[in-house]
Structure 1
Amino acid sequence: MKPVMLASLVGAGFAAGIGAPRAEPGKQAPAATVPLPPPQPPERPNDLVPPSPQVTPLPPGRPPELATSPDRAGDRKPEEASRAAGTATGQEPAPTTPPETPLPPARPPELSGEAALVLTVAAPDDTACLRRLERLGVRFEALPPLSNGQCSAPHPLSVTALADGVALEPAATLTCRSAEALARWTSEVQVAARRSFDDSLKSLVLGGSYVCRGQNHDTDAKLSEHSFANAVDIMGYGFAKRANLTVSAVPDGTPEAAFLSTVRASACGFFRTVLGPGSDAAHGNHLHLDERERNAGHRLCE
């Protein structure tokens, strides 16, 4: 026999010996088992039958006192009555015309036309203010009301001198409140003059008081407080012994610089607006003082 065939027979026998288990002598091989079907579930108990479907209860009937009756038919709105009639006859109700919107009342005559543009503000009562001016030693006289378009002053005063004989050059046209602020501030200027120069203040050189114009002489700007006799421009100070001192930027460390700085700072306690050299180009040669009202009592001190 050829060696190749012999090797094949030996390999087949060896494989057969490994794959099939040998039966022990005297015992039979176990018979093959067949899987059984799963057992049937027990019957459903009678007490677990599904409940019968529940019926949603209807709402209670409408109370008789709220039911619609023939007597209450007249209380219906026209569109409701029409809709009810159409439903009863099976016809589509005819559309109803909505009521006309009432017109607003006519505008009052005083708020129409040129009358609405007139500034109607009650003039302040200056009785108490005039008494204070007299006590402060201010020389003044009442002027007729001023009115030029929106520029106005109902009770202007022509003020010629203040306490201690301090003259105003020229006389100022101011409201009583502005004149009082100027008089009280000038008392502080008098103290500063004696402290800085050992001299007495004799005059205030003014650049203007009442004039109808815009701020900084700009015709398109908001009206200046000068337009209401509520402002004054201080150009310089006159003294009894020394030469006049003009409002300007002077070298620091001099008595003149100390005096101008002191009186300018003190003005912020009497006026709501204080502008001067260094504020802007328009106020480089004078001290602008006014009583402009601002929100929350705000003051502009530059």
Structure 2
Amino acid sequence: MKPVIVACLLSLTPCLGSALADPVKPPVATVPLPPPEPPQRPNDLVPPEPQVTPLPPERPPELVTGKEAVKPPEGKTGSDTPRGQGPDTANPTALPEAPLPPVRPPELSGEAALALKVAAPDDAACLRRLERLGARFESVAPLGNGQCSAPRPLNVTALADGVALEPAAILTCRAAEALARWTTEVQASARKEFDDRLASLSLGGTYVCRGQNHDSDAKLSEHSFANAIDVMGYGFAKRPAIKVTAAAEGSPEATFLATVRASACEFFRTVLGPGSDSAHGNHLHLDERERNAGHRLCQ
């Protein structure tokens, strides 16, 4: 056992006395000092006085326009007029009144306007082309029924190579020319697929005054202007006729129908047939409707 411990055990009083004589002193609390005051602002750093934007100069009197322009009194100039009392106060941007449009000509007003008629197009060049294509046709009287009209219709009975139209078609020259040109492609497809000659086209209608898809509330059909053809079928010299309908896939008939339908898109602005909608499930609708930017509808 250590000597110090032995000594304390032998005399408890001195050891306890020394322990009580030196108690542990608590830490002394300190109070933080306040921060020093900032230095005084120098006198030369005071904020500048606010600046006032100067007013624009007075508008010269010779530049004042409109009814509000007032000449300054004699002996005074425009600069003498107090601000806020010049002609610019009511309407600083007043301009002269716009002139009225010219009077409508009497021939374009009332009953005279209703009597105006648009001149029919000159078909002289088209008729010569149609003759060179081998078509047989004759001019008929103008057609008119309200908005349905055809000023210079043709009665077309046959096309090149003696292809008969059954029945004859009442068409504009432009539609007849497109039909004649397309039929030459149909003739080539008939010789290629069937080694036969196209003899006739079975038509469902040409000039009919009606709405699209026979809907009286719809926009007028191109049939109303003799500008459309409905092809129902194709007749041949030797083989049986073919109707415009679905054919067995991969058969010569299906190939022929698909080929002539595709070629029609090169000659007509509108081509609709089986698969386009329910109204064209049994015929090929061809027309020359004009659309914006030359758009064509081929379905």
Place the TM-score, normalised by the shorter chain, in its bin: 0.5 to 0.7
Post-superposition offset of 1:102 = 7.8
Once residues 216 and 133 of structure 2 are traced to their aligned partners in structure 1, the CA distance between those partners, rounded to angstroms, is 37
Aligned to 2:73: 84
Per-residue displacement from partner, 1:42-71 (whole Å, max 9, x unpaired)? xxxxxxxxxxxxxxxxx9xx9xxx9xxxxx
**Structure 1 position 141 matched with structure 2 position 138:** yes
Determine the C-alpha separation between the residues in 2 that align with 1:215 and 1:199: 35
The amino acid across from 1:80 in the alignment is V
Q: Deviations over 1:141-190 (max 9, x none)?
A: 00111121111111110000001100000000011111111011101111
Once the two structures are aligned, what percentage of the paired residues are identical? 77
Q: Which residue of 2 aligns with 1:286?
A: 283
Whole-angstrom CA distance in 1 between matches of 2:276 and 2:290: 20
Structure 1 segments of 4 or more deviating over 4 A? Answer: 99-105
TM-score, reference length from structure 2: 0.67
Distance 1:144 1:257, change over 3 A: same
How far 1:140 moved relative to its partner?
0.2
Tell me if 1:251 matches 2:241. no
Q: Distance in 2 between matches of 1:276 and 1:187?
A: 20
Structure 1: runs of 5+ lacking an equivalent = 1-58, 67-76, 88-98
TM-superposed CA distance for 1:100, in Å, is 11
Q: Equivalent residue for 1:53? A: none
Deviations 1:106-136 (A, max 9, x none): 4322332354456743322111111111111
1:39-188 residue pairs with structure 2 within 5 A?
80=70, 84=73, 105-117=102-114, 120-188=117-185
TM-score where L is the length of structure 1: 0.66
Relative distance call for 1:128 and 1:78 in structure 2 (3 A) is closer
Query: Could you list the per-position Cα deviations for residues 235-285 of structure 1 after superposition, in whole angstroms to 9, with x for gaps in the alignment?
Result: 011111111111112221111111100000000011111000000111111
Q: Against the structure 1 CA distance between its residues 100 and 238, is the aligned structure 2 distance closer, same or farther, given a 3 Å change threshold?
A: closer
Check 1:170–1:107 CA distance in 2 against 1; reply closer, same or farther (3 A cut): same
Q: Structure 1 residues 227, 79: closer, same or farther in 2, change over 3 A?
A: same
User: What is the deviation of 1:78?
Assistant: 11
Q: Kindly provide the amino acid, as one letter, of the partner of residue 282 in structure 2.
A: N
- Shift of residue 105 of structure 1? 4.5
**Of the two, which has the highest radius of gyration?**
1
- Distance change in 2, residues 1:78/1:129 (3 Å): closer
**1:109–1:286 Cα change, 3 Å:** same
Give the helix-richer structure, 1 or 2.
Answer: 1
**Aligned partners of 1:234, 1:101: CA distance in 2, in Å?**
58
- Paired residues in the alignment total 229
Q: Distance in 2 between matches of 1:198 and 1:125?
A: 40
Instruction: Provide the C-alpha distance between the structure 1 equivalents of 2:112 and 2:147, rounded to a whole number of angstroms.
Output: 14
Task: Report the CA distance shift for 1:117/1:253 in structure 2 as closer, same or farther (over 3 A).
Answer: farther
In the aligned structure 2, how far is the partner of 1:102 from the partner of 1:188?
60
* Letter of the structure 1 residue corresponding to residue 186 of structure 2: V
1:219–1:116 distance in 2 versus 1, CA, 3 Å:
farther
Distance 1:220 1:78, change over 3 A: closer
Q: Determine the C-alpha separation between the residues in 2 that align with 1:273 and 1:100.
A: 51
Unaligned runs of 5+ in 2: 1-56, 62-66, 77-95
Task: Name the amino acid aligned to 2:73.
Answer: A
How many angstroms apart in 1 are the aligned matches of 2:194 and 2:100?
Answer: 75
**Which SS does the other structure have where 1:196 is aligned?**
helix
SS of 1:238's equivalent in the other structure is strand
Question: Separation in 2 of the partners of 1:289 and 1:202?
Answer: 20
* Equivalent position of 1:271 in the other structure: 268
- Residue type at the aligned position of 1:84: P
- Determine the structure 1 residue equivalent to 2:199: 202
